[in-house]
Amino acid sequence: MKLIAVDLDGTLLNADSRISEVNASAVRKAQESGIKVAIATGRAVYDVQEKLKEAGLNAPIISANGAAVHDDQKRLLISYPMDRSLAFSVLAWLEENEFYYEVMTDQAIYSPQKGHQILTIEMDRVLSANPDVTLKELIYATEKQYSQAGIVRIASYEHIPQEAEIYNILAFSLEEHKLEKGRSRFRNDSSLTMVVSSDHNFEVEDTRASKGNALAYLASHLGIPMEDTVAIGDSYNDISMLTSAGKGIAMGNAHDEIKALCDDVTLTNIENGVAYAIERLLEEACPSPSNL
Ligand code: CA
């Protein structure tokens, strides 16, 4: 094993969206033993760099679900931006259907000014229709959307700067029927790729962009065969890398369908499942004398 690709949300990040010290030191231990550890996430690269900095880590980054790959010197290795007119047609549909969205680009994350209002309205509707859902759950679900680094509010998608490369469009809704309407609109559209990374979202990107493709690119860039790679993740947008890596490890908190596709299952993100998986991988690669 020479390269480990690790997802962030629901995987390396804990409940507070941070990298715990236990996980950070396991990553450092792997790096010190000569193993490359890459981050592979739907988040934007500058957002990931903030998270890594907080944890005192440095790593190659596969961002925007594989639409961009940076090395550990922050240099862009490759990107698969969306065709601008295709991206704009997706965004026009999302605005017409009053979706909260985020457009990840090489410049910033663009999100509509009335995004907050849209989510507040949805929250009210969900709460009045489902007395069992608590406000706390809904706020928790929306928190990630508000806490990212690099968000710029715009009146409409038409204000996205001409020179911005559009990597990924994320649509978010608390309402199931609305979410399903969006997912079914884009699921079978062969001009783009749609993936789901949480219970409340869907994301669209260029057909060349996937975590699996990006991992294959990074591995070949580093001269590492795919058999020597490991991927760790928890959700549907991880399937491409979990199934193409030499070994796929599902988080304990992953859906059963994801676990079924993997070679191994580790603990949950709250239980530092990444650290646990890395310790086991290191042990397999170099068994300690007491276990021989
Ligand atoms: Ca995830």
How much is the average pLDDT of 201-228?
97
- pLDDT score recorded for residue 229: 98
Q: How far is the CA of 268 from the centre of ligand 1 (A)?
A: 12
Q: What is the pTM of this model?
A: 0.89
Interatomic CA distance for residues 133 and 36, integer angstroms: 42
Does position 180 have pLDDT exceeding 90, yes or no?
A: yes
Report CA torsion sign: 133, 149, 54, 168. Answer: positive
> What gap in Å lies between CA 249 and CA 196, rounded to an integer?
18
In the structure encoding, which two tokens stand for residue 101, read together? 């969205």
3-state helix, strand, coil in the chain (%, to 5): 45, 20, 35
* Alpha helical stretches, state H, the chain: 21-32, 45-55, 84-96, 115-129, 135-146, 176-187, 211-221, 239-244, 256-261, 273-285
What average pLDDT is seen over the chain?
93
Closest by Cα among 266, 183, 204 to 7: 266
- Give the orientation angle of helix 273-285 with respect to helix 21-32, to 10 degrees: 20
Question: Per mean pLDDT, which range of 95-99, 157-161, 284-288 is the poorest?
Answer: 284-288
Which residues face 105 on adjacent strands? 166
For residues 258 and 242, is the Cβ–Cβ distance under 8 A?
yes
| C-beta of residue 37 within 8 angstroms of C-beta of residue 7 | no
CA separation, residue 162 to residues 85, 105, 106, 231 (Å): 11, 11, 12, 35
Given this model, what pLDDT does residue 139 score? 77
Q: What is the pLDDT of residue 19?
A: 98
Range 165-174 average pLDDT:
95
- What kind and span of H or E run contains 70? strand 68-70
* β-sheet bridge partners, residue 5: 38, 231
User: pLDDT of 83-141, one tens digit each?
Assistant: 999 999 999 999 999 999 999 999 999 999 988 889 889 988 888 888 777 777 777 77
Contact 48, 14 (CB under 8 A): no
pLDDT category of residue 262 using cuts at 50, 70 and 90: very high
In the chain, % of residues over pLDDT 70: 97
Strand order in the sheet with 193-195: 151-154, 109-112, 100-105, 166-172, 201-205, 193-195
Cβ neighbourhood burial of 145 (10 Å; 0-12, 13-18, 19+): buried
Quote the CA–CA distance of 58 and 257 in Å, as a whole number. 31
Give the pLDDT confidence score for residue 290 in this predicted structure: 60
How many whole angstroms from 7 Cα to the centroid of ligand 1?
A: 6
Handedness of CA 50, 53, 59, 60 (dihedral sign): positive
Asked whether residue 147 carries a pLDDT value surpassing 80, the answer given is no
Measured from the Cβ of residue 290, the count of other Cβ atoms closer than 10 Å reads 5
Give residue 291 CA to ligand 1 midpoint distance, Å: 33
For residues 191-205, average pLDDT: 93
- Split at pLDDT 50, 70, 90, the class of 193 is very high
- Write down the pLDDT at residue 292: 52
**Does 7 participate in catalysis according to the annotation?**
yes
Distance from Cα 28 to the centre of ligand 1, integer Å: 21
Q: 271: CA distance to ligand 1 center in Å?
A: 15
Check pLDDT > 60 for residue 250: yes
pLDDT interval class at 287 (50, 70, 90): confident
Active-site residue, selected from the candidate residues 7, 9, 47, 206? 7
Q: For residues 151 and 156, what is the distance between their CA atoms, to the nearest angstrom?
A: 14
CA of 34 to the centre of ligand 1 (A): 25
Give mean pLDDT, residues 196-205: 91
* 260: Cα within 13 Å, side-chain hemisphere: 4
- Mean pLDDT over 30-56 rounds to 95
